Structure 1
Amino acid sequence: MSFYESLLEQTSSERNYLLSAPIIRQAMSGQVSLPSYVAFLTEAYHHVKHTVPLLMACGARLPERLEWLREAIAEYIEEEYGHQEWILNDIRACASDADAVRGGTPQLATELMVSYVYDRIARHNPVSFFGMVTVLEGTSIALATQVAGVIQDKLQLPNQAFSYLTSHGSLDLEHIELLKSLMNRLDNDDDKAAVVHTAKVVYRLYGDVFRSLPLSSEE
């Protein structure tokens, strides 16, 4: 079994915790409201804006033995730069106040998730960052494109309100293949353990982000 396959196996219960969030079940069944979608985009903005800074922090702390991983991070930064602005554009297309979101503060669950990964990079092992990548990109592939279609059909929003979700559904398919290849090159047990542990915790914290979002009031 490859390390990436082992990573998915070891984090299955935590992944199920995330996917069982009530708002995800609602969205998949077509039970969704505009405030719920805008709240999702708001929290997405507050963690996505940290993607590049987290990548930079990780790359800066990697040891020389992982120079090949630092090279991949440099390419990843270029691809990820500015994606938080896509989210603000989606919020505007929902006729909501993107400037208020930019200047606002995240829910506690979002703040804790981001802070946790910064802490893992700084105090433990920078490779921990890829535990977060496993969670966010794996979840995106599982949900993004399908949920975007359900929400758009239900709320009759323009295509411009879904640039974040629709782009990441397809984009993250490429990123997952890259993630698999990078994780399967890891040959240090401490690095592997750091990724697994971080993924387990981030699945829980990201699940709490979804649980912090307002549910639709539909019956």
Structure 2
Amino acid sequence: MTTPRHRPAAGEALRARLRLTEPAVRAATAALWDAPGLAQRYPQYLRVMHGVVRASVPLMERAAARCARLAGAPGPDPVAEPLARYLAGHIEEERGHDDWLADDLASLGHDPREALGRPPPPAVAALVGAQYYWIEHHHPVALLGYIAVLEGNAPAPWLADRVVRDAGVPAAALRTVRAHAALDTGHSDDLHALLDALDLTAGQVHTVTVSALFTVDALLGLFGTLTRTPRPGAPHGPPATAGGTP
């Protein structure tokens, strides 16, 4: 009689898959932070990241509401209740972070109402919008793949000081970078522990993985709009305009 093969816990397995994407992510972030012109690029970074971050709480609220419907449905989903509890706590941890980005823009002398009143670029809609679809039309567990990627690629603790020193960006305009460097490592560990603890089906593990890998690809595309660098495998289209798209 053969012994069944051990299947790694979902959090462990996702970490292993995401490690394969690290070279591409490192190259994209190096182009963002290391290339000349960072002082001019940084306000654009704040605008597009505001478009992403302001969706964080609404996305989690939508996922929690879908969990409540699944938990109350006939043949309840055992993942729905613990996922909803995690989301309820994480919503409060993430609330107001978009205001930090607006304050950072103001510290650079930009009017946040004008800067953030433009439609977010398509790359933001692509990154965030897929999660709304999967939450409503598949399963809210997909959001964990998105969160794993965003919080697993937090700024390094030394990044803010280097941006101040090398690009001359005022220290007051780096509140969000500093805060997420401190917060997201712990958040990422909590997320992977949750994935290990949830009683996920093989299909749900696949959903989380698909969501995470899509998020990596979409994030590379988003960074490419800031650096004019196409992500690996992307067509070489014209550069984004300086109007609504950073």
1:199 is aligned to 2:206: no
2: CA distance between counterparts of 1:17 and 1:195? 20
- Counterpart in the other structure of 1:104: 118
- The answer to whether the 8 Å contact 2:56/2:94 transfers is yes
1:36 is aligned to 2:49: no
1:59 is aligned to 2:64: yes
2: CA distance between counterparts of 1:108 and 1:146? 31
Task: Give 2:191's aligned amino acid.
Answer: L
Q: CA deviation at 1:13?
A: 3.6
1: CA distance between counterparts of 2:26 and 2:121? 19
Q: CA deviation at 1:203?
A: 0.2
Look at both structures and tell me which one has the larger radius of gyration over its CA atoms: 2
Equivalent of 2:92 in 78, 84, 95: 78
1:178 is aligned to 2:185: no
2: CA distance between counterparts of 1:145 and 1:136? 16
1:94-143 Cα deviation digits (max 9, x unpaired): 12231122211122111111111111111111100011101100111xx3
Consecutive unaligned residues of structure 2, counting only runs of 5 or more, are 1-7, 72-77, 229-246
- Counterpart in the other structure of 2:23: 16
Task: Give 1:7's aligned amino acid.
Answer: L
Task: Give 2:183's aligned amino acid.
Answer: L
Larger relative contact order, structure 1 or 2 (CA cutoff 8 Å, min sep 6):
1
Task: Give 2:178's aligned amino acid.
Answer: T
Equivalent of 1:122 in 122, 136, 141: 136
Deviates more, 1:63-72 or 1:30-39: 30-39
2: CA distance between counterparts of 1:171 and 1:11? 20
RMSD: 1.8
1: CA distance between counterparts of 2:215 and 2:26? 13
Deviates more, 1:173-182 or 1:6-15: 6-15
1:55-93 Cα deviation digits (max 9, x unpaired): 011111123222122111111111111110100000111
Map 1:117-156 → 2, pairs under 5 A: 117-140=131-154, 143-156=155-168
1:149-184 Cα deviation digits (max 9, x unpaired): 221112333322011110011111221121121111
Q: CA deviation at 1:52?
A: 0.4
Equivalent of 1:95 in 109, 113, 120: 109
What is the percentage of aligned positions where both structures have the same residue?
25
Scaled by the length of structure 1, the TM-score of the pair is 0.89
Map 1:159-174 → 2, pairs under 5 A: 159-174=171-186
Aligned length, in residue pairs: 211
- The answer to whether the 8 Å contact 1:137/1:172 transfers is yes
Equivalent of 1:7 in 3, 11, 14: 14
- Counterpart in the other structure of 1:47: 52
Scaled by the length of structure 2, the TM-score of the pair is 0.80
